Structure 1
Amino acid sequence: MKPVIVVHGGAWAIPDKIAEDSIRGVKNAILEGFKILENGGSALDAVERAVRSMEDNPVFDAGHGAVLNANGEVELDAVIMDGKTLAAGAVSSIRNISNPVTFARSVMEKTDHVMLTDRGANQYADSQGIPKVATDELITEDERKEWEHYQKYTDSVKTLFNSQLVHDTVGAVALDCNGNVACATSTGGIRNKMVGRVGDTPIIGSGGYADNHIGAVSCTGHGESIMKVTLARLILFHMEQGKSPEQATDEALRYMAERVNGAGGAIVISPDGNWAARFTTERMAWASIKEDTLSYGLNPKEMFNEKTFRIAS
């Protein structure tokens, strides 16, 4: 089985001023993940590494670069899932850990639970010696200024999502040389969200899902809408009915728009290596590597291909 990996940097109205950095960020992330697959590593290791790369990149809303809630605080969510065993780990509302996806994997591998949240998650992190950072290290100066500016408005988070005021989730899906699939998704949420609000990202079947029998999905977009239709599992349901990853994703996104007026996107991979990166927002930064081709895009119906994997500095 030849390995395949796909990543996204969030489906939203990505402004021109960070468009180039967003593309560069997903390309760098996918190279990090593909190195693992190329050397015979697991899909699980690959998606974790790719998502960590984006969590460390302040152009995205995950880890470093997270947006602020209504109280001006960071609250991070993440999920990771192994398609071979259906093992999964998730964390929500954590405040001072720069790589929530690795924290989620620890929950998956070292506890009997699937999700830890808030105070309990932080207590567990302390018990495991998971490195912590000062919350201020996760917030960019631009985000602090944007948050202070938009405190003057009373827009709902859905209105904010439909504007250019919010970043969004990052994620990855992969297929390794042993035929195993995995997914990982991480987010800093929606700017000005209520304290304690948890979106789709850490919810199994909504923000992500992986099953060797069907495929793997990582979702992005308006979290409340995604949860209402369990978007990740809905896409895989359509794939179980014989649809391609692209057809299944388009149908599920169309249903979400018609049923709950929600916009978003998803990256998908099937056990035979077919993949899709689809979205109904203005833009979504994404990249994939299959065989010797790195593909990437930002705008609707856009795909660029490179035969080499060099990234400009």
Structure 2
Amino acid sequence: MTGSTSPDNDFVLAVHGGAGTILRSTMTPEREAAYHAGLRRSLEAGRAVLADGGAALDAVTAAVVELENEPVFNAGRGAVYTSAGKQEMDAAVMDGRNRAAGAVAGICGPRNPVLAARVVMERSNHVMLIGEGALAFCRAQGVAFEEPSYFFTEARWKALQDTLALRERGADDHDDSRKHGTVGAVARDRHGNLAAATSTGGMTGKAPGRVGDSPIFGAGTWADDACAISGTGHGEIFIRYAAGHEIAARLRHTGQSLEDASRIVVMDILAPADGSGGLIAVDKTGAVSLPFNCAGMYRGYVRADNVLRTAIYDEPLREFIGA
């Protein structure tokens, strides 16, 4: 589903809460309402930054913070568990103005991993920090931390137990919500600048130490002067096919539209390679693309008209007037 391009002084923000949606057959009205409300809060947070003339980088950071704070999504509070029963989170931010980038991987402690990634970008000489080194750096920089109990949710713990039980039996229920889920945001500000941010707990039952595509620039996160991308799905495939950079390269070198490039990558390149998932994308004209090749993707976008548009499955986006 695609939005029209923006006037030169307009802005646009798109967000996602992961492509590993709950199966439609098991979705309750209450949970569905909670997902839409979480997406709207994220859109409101980022829109407020952009409406005030703020930078795309600040908008995507604010939007992802809201999604990390919402336990129904797989990032920050509510992140999934590894096979060892631990939470290991990854996050990334990238500024399209100069390709400045920062990422963290395999961490648990910072209240908002996206802010940890932002600190790496702005206060270190590195692009990515992992594990204990990342935690020590974040503490030294004054990043807010929480105890492990803050990040715990009963639903994610039960998902791990169910996944481990399925593995023990050699079974697979083909429920994408167990396999992947991520949050992300992409934006174009009033000045025409682009940025992207992505944050995730990874895959339920993943091997300890596993890092997916979210903090890998050019795979699950990308921003330059042509487009900004945040992906969600089977991270190993997004990495192997450099999904984010592939879209940017198609815009830059072939002249394809954002919609064509995004759909080709998601439907024709990732899907045949078992790359279940989707992505959100904006380009320098303000065009938006939100393709996915699985059961659904929590997603939405907002422009200067303050209409918050959100959807979960293959359905028209619902429209809400922002506050």
Q: TM-score, normalised by structure 1?
A: 0.93
Matched to 1:233, the amino acid is H
Gap change, CA 1:71 and 1:115, over 3 Å in 2: same
Gap change, CA 1:122 and 1:215, over 3 Å in 2: same
Q: Does 1:88 align with 2:101?
A: yes
1:134 maps to which residue?
Answer: 147
Gap change, CA 1:148 and 1:301, over 3 Å in 2: closer
1:203 maps to which residue?
Answer: 216
2:319 maps to which residue?
Answer: 305
CA contact (8 A) 1:287 1:294 kept: yes
C-alpha separation in 2, matches of 1:104 and 1:195: 20
Aligned-residue offset at 1:26? 0.9
C-alpha separation in 1, matches of 2:73 and 2:298: 10
1:230 maps to which residue?
Answer: 242
CA contact (8 A) 1:67 1:167 kept: no
Aligned-residue offset at 1:63? 0.2
Choose which of 295, 298, 315 in structure 2 pairs with 1:285.
Answer: 298
Q: Does 1:10 align with 2:23?
A: no
Aligned-residue offset at 1:302? 2.4
Aligned-residue offset at 1:5? 0.5
CA contact (8 A) 1:161 1:190 kept: no
2:4 maps to which residue?
Answer: none
Aligned-residue offset at 1:297? 1.5
Gap change, CA 1:145 and 1:263, over 3 Å in 2: closer
C-alpha separation in 2, matches of 1:50 and 1:269: 15
CA contact (8 A) 2:11 2:188 kept: yes
Aligned-residue offset at 1:84? 0.3
Aligned-residue offset at 1:163? 3.7
C-alpha separation in 2, matches of 1:150 and 1:204: 29
Q: Write out per-residue CA displacement over residues 41-76 of structure 1, whole angstroms, 9 at most, x where no aligned residue.
A: 110000000000000000000000000001000000
How do 1:55-70 and structure 2 match up within 5 A?
Answer: 55-70=68-83
Aligned-residue offset at 1:301? 4.6
C-alpha separation in 2, matches of 1:93 and 1:150: 20
**Unaligned stretches of 5+ residues in structure 1:** none
Gap change, CA 1:161 and 1:272, over 3 Å in 2: farther
**Unaligned stretches of 5+ residues in structure 2:** 1-8
Aligned residues: 307
C-alpha separation in 1, matches of 2:180 and 2:271: 24
Matched to 1:12, the amino acid is G
Q: TM-score, normalised by structure 2?
A: 0.90
Q: Does 1:274 align with 2:287?
A: yes
Matched to 1:304, the amino acid is R
Please, which moves more after superposition, 113-122 or 14-23? 14-23
CA contact (8 A) 1:179 1:271 kept: yes
Matched to 2:232, the amino acid is T
C-alpha separation in 1, matches of 2:302 and 2:131: 36
2:257 maps to which residue?
Answer: 244
Aligned partner of residue 12 in structure 1, secondary structure: coil
Q: Does 1:294 align with 2:308?
A: yes
1:216 maps to which residue?
Answer: 228
Aligned partner of residue 206 in structure 2, secondary structure: coil
Gap change, CA 1:36 and 1:202, over 3 Å in 2: same
1:174 maps to which residue?
Answer: 187
Q: Write out per-residue CA displacement over residues 64-115 of structure 1, whole angstroms, 9 at most, x where no aligned residue.
A: 0000001000000000000001100000000111200011000000011000
CA contact (8 A) 1:14 1:284 kept: no
1:19 maps to which residue?
Answer: 32
Aligned-residue offset at 1:140? 0.3
Matched to 1:128, the amino acid is Q
1:47 maps to which residue?
Answer: 60
C-alpha separation in 1, matches of 2:174 and 2:135: 28
C-alpha separation in 1, matches of 2:152 and 2:247: 33
Matched to 2:282, the amino acid is I
1:107 maps to which residue?
Answer: 120
Aligned-residue offset at 1:132? 1.3
Gap change, CA 1:105 and 1:161, over 3 Å in 2: farther
Gap change, CA 1:160 and 1:235, over 3 Å in 2: farther
Gap change, CA 1:163 and 1:105, over 3 Å in 2: closer
- Seq. identity, %: 36
C-alpha separation in 1, matches of 2:202 and 2:174: 10
C-alpha separation in 2, matches of 1:70 and 1:52: 26
Matched to 1:218, the amino acid is S
Please, which moves more after superposition, 87-96 or 239-248? 239-248
The Cα RMSD (Å) is: 1.9
CA contact (8 A) 1:47 1:182 kept: yes
Aligned partner of residue 19 in structure 1, secondary structure: helix
Aligned-residue offset at 1:119? 1.2
Aligned-residue offset at 1:133? 0.8
